[in-house]
Amino acid sequence: MHSLITTVLDLLGAVLIVIALALAAGAWWTPAGVFVAGVGLVAVSWLVDLPRRRSARKRARR
C-alpha cells in the first residue's frame, strides 16, 4: 500500500509541475501554454511507462 501511495503522489507531483509550467507559458502566449501542457503530459506518460517497457523488452529477449 505504501508504494501505491508514493507512486500516486509522485504522479500527482509531476502533473502539478506540468500544470505550473503550462500556466507560466500560457501567461506569455496561450498557444505556448497548450503546447507545454501537451508535451509535458506526453513526457510524464513516457516516464511512467518506461520501467514497464524495459521489463517487457527483457522478457522478450529470453
CA-derived radius of gyration, the chain: 15
pLDDT in tens, 41-57: 999 999 888 888 888 88
> Model-level pTM?
0.81
Cα-based distances in Å from 45 to 5, 30, 60? 18, 23, 22
**H or E stretch covering 41:** helix 30-61
For the chain, the structural domain boundaries read 2-57
Q: What is the mean pLDDT of residues 27-50?
A: 95
Within 13 Å, how many C-alpha atoms sit on residue 42's CB side?
6
Q: Cα–chain-centroid distance for residue 24?
A: 17
Q: Cα–chain-centroid distance for residue 51?
A: 13
